[in-house]
Structure 1
Amino acid sequence: MGPDFEMEKAAYAAGMLHVAGVDEVGRGPLAGPVTAAAVVLDPLLIPDGLNDSKQLSKKRREALAELLAGCAMVSVGHASVEEIEQVNILRASHLAMQRAVAGLPVVPDQVLVDGAIVPHGMNLPVIPVVKGDTRCLSISAASIVAKIARDRIMVDLAQQHPGYGWETNMGYGSKSHMAALRNLGVTPHHRRTFKPVHKMLYQEKIVSS
């Protein structure tokens, strides 16, 4: 059983005009921003095959993201590494979600958010949906858009900082990424409050003092 449109249908049946699905990607990596997407699907033009982005191949994700750009209202928001360090990753992911929703061409009457927490500061009716990316088509669509947007950023950053493998590990702490951190050091795009990076900086400090 894949995601369905039941939650959105219930909202439309209650007289709502625009329902947005929201999801984020990039809470776990050691480098790069956290990215969120908000998507308002057209009930009459829902692309086939929407699912949690993790269940889809890269090729399928890209094809669906392109379809969504043409048939749905789509917005992407980010929170920077600096913001992640200042306010913590959970709050930063909520910031990215707020920005994604604010970037939509309409103000949604209902927001369906992946996860168990209502994002802090989103002053709209929000329903948190646990495992929403596998249950709700609008959230599945948002998960695909967010993943594609963040992957593109990491591929771009990988060209500026070669050696860390960001074009394939997307900033997550893979074996090759950890080895590069040890050999090449910490870049401005690394999250210094995250334990492996913090530990490395602390060790460098000890060595240089």
Structure 2
Amino acid sequence: MPDFSFEQELVRELGNNNAKLRIIGVDEVGRGPWAGPVVAAAAWLDQETLPQDLANRLDDSKKLSKRAREEIFDRIHELASSGKAIVALGRAEVEEIDSLNILGASLLAMSRAVEQLPFVPHGALVDGNKLPDLPCPARSVIKGDGRSLSIAAASIVAKVTRDRHMAELALNHPGYGWERNQGYGTAEHRAGIARLGITAAHRRSFRPIREAE
């Protein structure tokens, strides 16, 4: 289960044992789908006031049910309203995914999320093995959304935000099942493409979409 070990270790690496240093977690969702943007989140949690019941529920968003993610998302924003957490979002659009490639777009989305924070963090923990361009010292953490509470929080915020966005896109582009498959290459999505064709929200640089045009 995730905890604050990585956050505390980064504080020590920075040469400062001040627990008030703001260490954020950064994660993105949406690398694999055939449609829609990549969404990233940056999250800071007050280690001294994080409710234990919430800490016990935070985990890699992929391991949680939709209902659990939604509940945790709301809890995080409740903490943010009282200054005990801070979250920010960044996106890379389909056009950027097609021009940069998915890795470049993911890193861009993460950079944008950190830029939206109301402060410059003292350090960042980033899920994965690649670091985006950030204004602070950073450390990559493989499978960090299951190891760091800050990254787990960012993972959940990004996932719920993107899922909601895809449900909104589905209203404008019915027939692909994006409200259920979030743009991934499911049988329902494949059938929608065969029946209805490609939309402006599809990633044309992805092989299945390129071949379907």
TM-score bracket, normalised by the shorter chain, equals over 0.9
2:90 corresponds to: 77
1:49-91 Cα shifts (integer Å, max 9, x gaps):
1000011111111111111112210001100001101111101
Query: Is 1:98 the equivalent of 2:111?
Result: yes
1:141-161 Cα shifts (integer Å, max 9, x gaps):
100000000001000000111
Tell me how far apart the structure 1 counterparts of residues 172 and 60 of structure 2 sit (CA, whole Å): 30
Deviation at 1:45, TM superposition (A): 2.7
Structure 1 gap segments, 5+ residues each = 202-209
Secondary structure in 1 aligned to 2:6? Answer: helix
Secondary structure in 2 aligned to 1:111? Answer: strand
Where in structure 1 do 4 or more consecutive aligned residues deviate above 4 Å?
none
Secondary structure in 2 aligned to 1:77? Answer: strand
In the alignment, which of 48, 52, 66 is matched to residue 44 of structure 1?
A: 48
Give RMSD over aligned pairs. Answer: 1.1
1:88-125 Cα shifts (integer Å, max 9, x gaps):
11010011000110111111110100001112x22421
Tell me how far apart the structure 1 counterparts of residues 49 and 179 of structure 2 sit (CA, whole Å): 32
Q: How many residues align?
A: 199
In the alignment, which of 15, 26, 44 is matched to residue 30 of structure 2?
A: 26
Tell me how far apart the structure 1 counterparts of residues 162 and 23 of structure 2 sit (CA, whole Å): 23
Tell me how far apart the structure 2 counterparts of residues 95 and 69 of structure 1 sit (CA, whole Å): 24
2:201 corresponds to: 189
1:134 corresponds to: 146
So what's the TM-score if we normalise by structure 2?
A: 0.90
In the alignment, which of 120, 130, 134 is matched to residue 117 of structure 1?
A: 130
Deviation at 1:191, TM superposition (A): 0.3
In the alignment, which of 145, 150, 154 is matched to residue 157 of structure 2?
A: 145
1:207 corresponds to: none
Tell me the amino acid that sits aligned with residue 147 of structure 2: R
Structure 2 gap segments, 5+ residues each = 80-84
Secondary structure in 2 aligned to 1:37? Answer: strand
Deviation at 1:12, TM superposition (A): 4.1
2:170 corresponds to: 158
Secondary structure in 2 aligned to 1:151? Answer: helix
So what's the TM-score if we normalise by structure 1?
A: 0.92
